[in-house]
Amino acid sequence: MMGEPALVAELDLEDLGPLISQEGLEQLQNKYVQKVRKSVSEWMQKALEVELTDWQRDQEPDIDHEGCYHTSLPTIIAQEIDGTIGEVNPTALIIALADIINFKDPNMLILEISGLLSKYPDIRTEVTMKTFCGRANPTTGALDWVEESEEYDYHQEIARSCYADMLHDKDRNEKYYQGIRAAVSRVKARGERVVVLDIGTGTGLLSMMAVTAGADYCYAIEVFKPMAQAATCIVERNGFSDKIKVINKHSTEVTVGPDGDMQERANILVTELFDTELIGEGALPSYEHAHMHLVQASCEAVPHRATVYAQLVESDMLWKWSQLQPIEVDGNKLRPPPAVVKCAGAPSVCDIQLSQVPPESFTPLGPICTMFSVDFSKPVSSAAQSYAAQFKAQTSGKAQVVLSWWDIDMDPDGNIVCTMAPSWNYSDPRTYPWRDHWMQSVYFLPAEENVSEEEELNLIVSHDDYSLWYSLTHSEQNDVKVATFRPCCTCQAHLVWTRPRFGELNDEQRTESYINALRSVFSLENSGMAKQVIEQVLHANSLKHGVQLLGIRPEQLSLADLEGNQISVLIGEPYFSTSLLPWHSLFFWYCRTAVAQLLHPNATILPCAATLYIVAVEFRDLWRIRAPCGTCEGFDVSPMDEMIQQSLDYRESWEAEPHPLWEYPCRALTKPRPVMTFDFTQCVPEQPANSEGTVPFTGEFVNGAHTGNKVCFSSDLLEKLLGMEEKIFPII
């Protein structure tokens, strides 16, 4: 009625009251929010069920350098919101979610739906945009809420990507350039127009190589938006915008046709989709799709072919990274539980700089075997497959570990080869090209097996679309069954402990230093899974009556838990599953402070103190992962340098990075210097502690400013009891 002009004269709008009273409006709003809350609660419960199933898998979840586990729950929530928000008022949805998850501030939820804000601007007008990251503090054990900007995630992704390492890999770049030139020449010799498809273009380097080599046009696909933007800028700066089209999509989403992303199918396929395991970045599914939908049947691929190699070895050093070993101390043998002994171990590959593993630390039991090859110029299958290499054992020993690497032929004749073989496999190790984005792999057999010299063996490699795994048979049978599922951990120990942790636990001298004659030890372990593993160890060694496991946090401990007794000895390694940086071990200090009221006045604290050391070093190679490139193979890639530096400056440049420095040779430029000591016999001080000073350089620079600060942590056990110093792996 109010919209009808003819009624204006008959109605006085000021005399009209609201169609719905304020009370009625509030009732409707409350009813609406209740319905939204119920709906959201139902699919949230489903999301949690999916998450629970995910966390109960045998595979250990990924973890970042701050100790945070990766979880699919935020993605599930965001997808549910994306499908619901068109039908539900955004504010009501945010309020309902905040209520269900018990967030005091609904703004915190914007962290998980930041991508939707640009899609639904009305949320921005009603909720201030903030990003809060819940971070587990490995040092204090507390959950800290840290406010971040909207761009935090992609800055972190760029900063940790180590793209610069690939640009500094001269051997890789030269081989790709040679292979691309050869492929363009072969297609031109057939009288065809050269159309190149570059999947995973990154900086656009390979596309620019192709155009420079004579390609008529190039489609460069990059799924990561910031990288696609950088590639567009680099292509434009080098003057190739008219011949290179950057497509910001996953290759499986690219369309071909008059109205598609590509006008025609390509006759040259250029990719760099490989990782240390060759197929871990989804190379097989991507190639499979490309041959079906994006390239011509007669296409040339660069690289043309990949070949995987492996060698069966015996190595006590490497085997200790995977299996818990019995340890004999003072005539007593500590044995791992049967479930751990029979376990196949962690399913993930162990990728390392194999060149830094001394050849004398392992014994080859067979030759280097060619396991399988993939021809990328022909249709590729991502289906699970197995291959076998038959050989006679070169010597008797224990088959424990498989060392593996791959190479790629850039041309069909195999004249242009880029190999990942370790330096000790080169005729002249000095010619070995260092790279950190492609290394070598160590695979642990499900169980060690005795082999005899001259015995016929079958080394079997199996793969799905993303992973490889190895097994061994003593049969002369050539038929190999396809292994549908790879071995995985069934004992939980490999889900709780990392490979370096297994190495620590298998260190007899290290373990000996912690042996004591206590009649009873009270042990705190607030990780449910770790508690189960420790219970297995105690049961296997008949120690359950001497050790009581309490599945609670230190601040929850009471005299009742200790059966009325005060703590006379407080002992820790210290080791915590969340620790990545040396000072994370200071969590022991916070635990000690939390139980201070329960300590006997003369209680012994082990370790009693810790000292932080630093030393400046010059790296032979590791500096490349952070160094700007400027020009690569004659192309200006400085926009990439600028993007990386911007992301590093955002946060990463002032945070320490954990690195296994035994893999990266370096030269000390200063003497190790203690910079701070922490007294565990006292509680954590309330005021922050700091230390300042200078460290004189004692060495000369050889390669300029390729330096870093090496930081290590030393915890001192009580000298009168153990008399040794515990060293923790250093970081930079």
Binning pLDDT at 50, 70 and 90, where does residue 385 land? very high
Taking the C-alpha atoms of residue 231 and residue 249, their distance in angstroms, rounded to an integer, is: 13
Query: What is 515-548 written as a DSSP string?
Result: ----S-EEEE---HHHHHHHHHHHHHTT-TTTEE
* DSSP-derived 3-state class of residue 46: helix
Model confidence at 566: pLDDT above 50: yes
Binning pLDDT at 50, 70 and 90, where does residue 107 land? very low
In the chain, the percentage of residues whose pLDDT exceeds 70 is 67
Residue 502: C-alpha distances to residues 170, 320, 345 (Å): 36, 6, 11
**Given this model, what pLDDT does residue 544 score?**
57
Taking the C-alpha atoms of residue 557 and residue 536, their distance in angstroms, rounded to an integer, is: 23
Determine whether 426 is exposed, middle or buried from the number of CB atoms within 10 Å of its CB (0-12, 13-18, 19+).
middle
Model confidence at 156: pLDDT above 90: no
125 neighbors 197 (Cβ within 8 angstroms):
no
Taking the C-alpha atoms of residue 363 and residue 352, their distance in angstroms, rounded to an integer, is: 18
Taking the C-alpha atoms of residue 556 and residue 108, their distance in angstroms, rounded to an integer, is: 28
Taking the C-alpha atoms of residue 663 and residue 715, their distance in angstroms, rounded to an integer, is: 24
187's enclosing H/E stretch is: helix 170-189
Phi and psi at residue 534, to the nearest 5°: -65, -40
Exposure b/e, 456-491, CB count within 10 A at least 16 = b: ebbbbbbbbbeebbbbbeeeeeeebeebeebbbbeb
Query: Is 272 part of the annotated catalytic residue set?
Result: yes
Strands 143-148 and 131-136: antiparallel
Does the domain formed by 164-302 have CATH 1.10.10.60?
A: no
* Chain position carrying tokens 């607030």: 526
* DSSP-derived 3-state class of residue 702: coil
Question: 504-509: long-range contacts (C-beta < 8 A, 24 or more apart)?
Answer: 504/575, 505/324, 506/320, 506/324, 506/325, 506/327, 508/327, 508/328, 508/329
**Given this model, what pLDDT does residue 606 score?**
81
Model confidence at 136: pLDDT above 50: yes
| Average pLDDT, integer, range 163-168 | 86
**Given this model, what pLDDT does residue 521 score?**
45
* Annotated domain spans of the chain: 28-150, 164-302, 306-487, 496-598
Q: What is the pLDDT of residues 601-619, one digit of tens each?
A: 988 888 889 999 988 899 9
List the catalytic residue out of 272, 277, 504, 573: 272
Q: What is the mean pLDDT of the chain?
A: 80
| Average pLDDT, integer, range 143-169 | 71
CATH code linked to domain 496-598: 3.40.50.150
Nearest Cα residue to 384 out of 467, 501, 475: 467
Q: What is the pLDDT of residues 182-212, one digit of tens each?
A: 999 999 999 999 999 999 999 999 999 999 9
Which residue type, as a one-letter code, is found at position 147?
A: E
Nearest Cα residue to 365 out of 433, 291, 448: 448
**Given this model, what pLDDT does residue 570 score?**
85
Query: What is 559-626 written as a DSSP string?
Result: TTTTTTPPEEEEE-----TT--SGGGGGHHHHHHHHTGGGEEEEEEEES-EEEEEEEEEEESSGGGGT
**Given this model, what pLDDT does residue 518 score?**
44
CATH code linked to domain 306-487: 2.70.160.11
Q: Which residues contact 284 (CB under 8 A, 6 or more apart)?
A: 374, 380, 381, 382, 465, 466
Q: What is the pLDDT of residues 633-689, one digit of tens each?
A: 999 999 999 988 888 777 655 678 888 889 999 999 999 999 999 999 999 998 888
199 neighbors 290 (Cβ within 8 angstroms):
yes
* DSSP-derived 3-state class of residue 7: helix
Strands 547-550 and 521-524: parallel
Task: Quickly count: other Cβ atoms within 10 Å of residue 442's Cβ.
Answer: 22
* Chain position carrying tokens 């810790």: 610
**Given this model, what pLDDT does residue 549 score?**
76
Higher-pLDDT residue of 532, 276: 276
Judge if 164-302 and 496-598 fold alike in CATH terms.
yes
* Chain position carrying tokens 């871990």: 280
Angle subtended at Cα 522 by Cα 520 and Cα 524, rounded to the nearest 5 degrees: 160
Name the token pair of 643. 């993007």
Binning pLDDT at 50, 70 and 90, where does residue 721 land? very low
Q: What is the pLDDT of residues 289-302, one digit of tens each?
A: 999 999 999 999 99
Phi-psi region of 728 (alpha: psi -120 to 50; beta: other; left: phi over 0): beta
Cis amide leading into 226 (omega within 30) = no
- Give the chain's largest Cα–Cα span: 109
Q: Which residues contact 360 (CB under 8 A, 6 or more apart)?
A: none
List the catalytic residue out of 66, 192, 236, 281: 281
Higher-pLDDT residue of 456, 520: 456
578 neighbors 501 (Cβ within 8 angstroms):
no
Query: What is 293-359 written as a DSSP string?
Result: HTEEEEEEEES-EEEEEEEEEE-HHHHTTTSPPPEEETTEEE---HHHHH-----S-EEE-GGGS-G
Model confidence at 36: pLDDT above 90: no
Strands 350-352 and 369-375: unpaired
Nearest Cα residue to 410 out of 171, 194, 175: 175
Taking the C-alpha atoms of residue 199 and residue 210, their distance in angstroms, rounded to an integer, is: 13
Q: What is the pLDDT of residues 546-558, one digit of tens each?
A: 677 788 888 889 9
Name the token pair of 625. 């992962």
Taking the C-alpha atoms of residue 96 and residue 34, their distance in angstroms, rounded to an integer, is: 8
